[in-house]
Amino acid sequence: MTDSCGDRLGLVEAYSWLGFVRLLLDDLRGACDAFERSHATATERGNPQFLAYALSKLGILADAE
């Protein structure tokens, strides 16, 4: 995914939703990749709310594993 319009929160959310779909399909590796991208994007942005949102998705994955 690209950030062509500068919407970093949109990317954080998009990667998170992609992770959820992969999680529902029992693709834990794919979910992990998407959630980690969400986290990396949130970290780059430096916004604590984005980061908390992304970290919560990694927690969901850890619970599923």
Q: Does 53 map to a domain?
A: yes
* Residue 27 lies in domain: 8-64
| Integer Cα distance of 28 and 32 in angstroms | 6
Q: Does 37 map to a domain?
A: yes
- pTM here is 0.81
Tell me what pLDDT residue 20 has: 93
Q: Do residues 34 and 22 touch, judged by C-beta distance below 8 A?
A: yes
Q: Does 2 map to a domain?
A: no
Count: domains in the chain: 1
| Integer Cα distance of 49 and 16 in angstroms | 14
Q: Does 28 map to a domain?
A: yes
Q: Does 15 map to a domain?
A: yes
Burial class (CB in 10 A: 0-12, 13-18, 19+), 20: middle
Could you tell me the pLDDT band of residue 32, with boundaries at 50, 70 and 90?
very high
Could you tell me the pLDDT band of residue 2, with boundaries at 50, 70 and 90?
very low
